[in-house]
Amino acid sequence: MIKAIVSGIGFGLVLTFITGPVFFALIKTSIEKGFHAGVSLALGVVCSDVVFVGAILFGSQYIDVSDHTKVIAGVVGSAILFALGLYYMFKKSEINYENKVPSGADRFGYILKGFLMCIFNPTLLFHWTVVIGAASTTFLVGTPHRSFHIAVMFLTILIIQFGMDTLKAFYANKLRARISVKFIHRLNEVAGIALIIASLVLIDKLVTHFVFAAPAGS
């Protein structure tokens, strides 16, 4: 039990400090729209993580996805990431200095944005695959209550990630009064560029192979 919790804390801290499009989006949303909006976005990210973990742990046992289908899904995902990147780059910047609590519809919109931004990012799928591989190595087949320990480990990871993302949103929100709209515009551009780069890297890995070689046997 203790080993599972400690492992979960370690992996949770590592994953939450991996800088990527979601990191910039969380900071940007917290500064631009306030703490509550940032937490809603973080909740959407956690929901996508739950889907990733469930799909890897259980889906692979019942569903055989062909390589062609994976490529199509990856191309669709990269197109969505690219579109989100363009949206951020040309989005009008504004700051909610009053830190108003979002309405139910707006809160759901932030949750959905966080969910979609992650669910179509195969890099996060790779990260979770590595974590699951590490969990399988830590708790070998035959270990007493193996499934329970792995479940505790992943629950700890998700709690740590959500907690750290909430802290990011809190401190980003505290900086809001000192930040100009121009800075937010620059932050939007950085987030947009990060998303576009992620989409282009994915396309190259799947289709073009200008930088990344095609997987062996494909």
Q: Which pLDDT does position 93 carry in this prediction?
A: 66
The confidence score (pLDDT) of residue 66 equals 62
Confidence at residue 150, expressed as pLDDT on a 0 to 100 scale: 80
Tokens representing residue 23 in the block:
């990191």
Integer Cα distance of 108 and 20 in angstroms: 23
pLDDT at residue 215 greater than cutoff 70:
no
Closest of 15, 33, 57, 59 to residue 176, by C-alpha: 33
Residue pLDDT, tens place only, 148-204: 888 888 888 889 889 988 998 888 888 777 777 777 778 778 877 877 887 888 788
Of all helices (H) and strands (E), which one includes residue 218? none
Residue-level pLDDT at 40:
92
pLDDT score of 131 more than 80: no
C-alpha 198/C-alpha 11 separation (Å) is: 22
**Using CA atoms, how far apart are residues 140 and 191, in angstroms rounded to an integer?**
40
pLDDT at 39: 92
Q: Bigger pLDDT: 169 or 101?
A: 169
Q: What's the pLDDT score for residue 214? A: 65
Question: Mean of the pLDDT values across residues 131-144?
Answer: 70
pTM: 0.66
